[in-house]
Amino acid sequence: MFSQNMDNIKLGEIIASVSDSIQGNIGRWQFVIKNTPFICVTDETNNRMRIISPIAESSSLDDEMKTNALVANFHSALDVKYAISDGILWSAYIHPLKELTEMQVKDAISQVFFANRTFGTTYSSTDLIFGGNQNGEAIEEKEKKPIKKEKF
């Protein structure tokens, strides 16, 4: 089955099942997992959704952090990306809504969570590094620690 027919009702149920707290309306939720805030917004008409989590004010980022985030977008932030909007650095997952499966939604939330938590250290959304860093340039890390798979 290629089309999963995900909609706002199913998506809201999935988010509620994995979050510590949730508020909002259908198509726009704010939720928290392990003290990490998230926002999920959808547009059923245009078949789009995004799950985002604020990390820091963009004005607090130095050039090295911004460069590391861009490198991570290519190698270690797999299905999520670091992005700046409205003066905030976010970890963001953006996808067509209808095609999502329940497992993809849960994985997306997990990746947004870990990209948020690892910003400034490993800059990664999972323990997989896709393709490696082809130029051999290491991301300088303040504190390297393995990603601990947390259940949420």
Digit-coded pLDDT (tens) for 4-51: 799 999 999 999 999 999 999 999 999 999 999 999 999 999 999 999
Is residue 80 a part of any domain in this protein?
Answer: yes
**CATH classification of the domain holding 51:** 3.30.1460.10
- Tell me if 92 is assigned to some domain: yes
| Percent of the residues in the chain that have a pLDDT greater than 70, as a whole number | 82
pTM metric for this prediction: 0.84
Q: Which whole number is the average pLDDT over 52-58?
A: 98
Question: What total of structural domains would you count in the chain?
Answer: 1
Cβ atoms of residues 40 and 29 within 8 Å: yes
Over the range 67-83, which residues count as b (16 or more CB within 10 Å of their CB) and which as e?
Answer: ebbebbbebbbbbbbbb
Residue 133 belongs to some domain of the structure: no
- 134 within some domain: no
Q: Is there a domain that residue 1 lies in?
A: no
Domain that holds residue 76: 8-118
Q: pLDDT above 90 covers what percent of the chain?
A: 79
Residue 19 lies in a domain: yes
CA distance 101 to 107: 10
CA 49/CA 89 separation, integer angstroms: 18
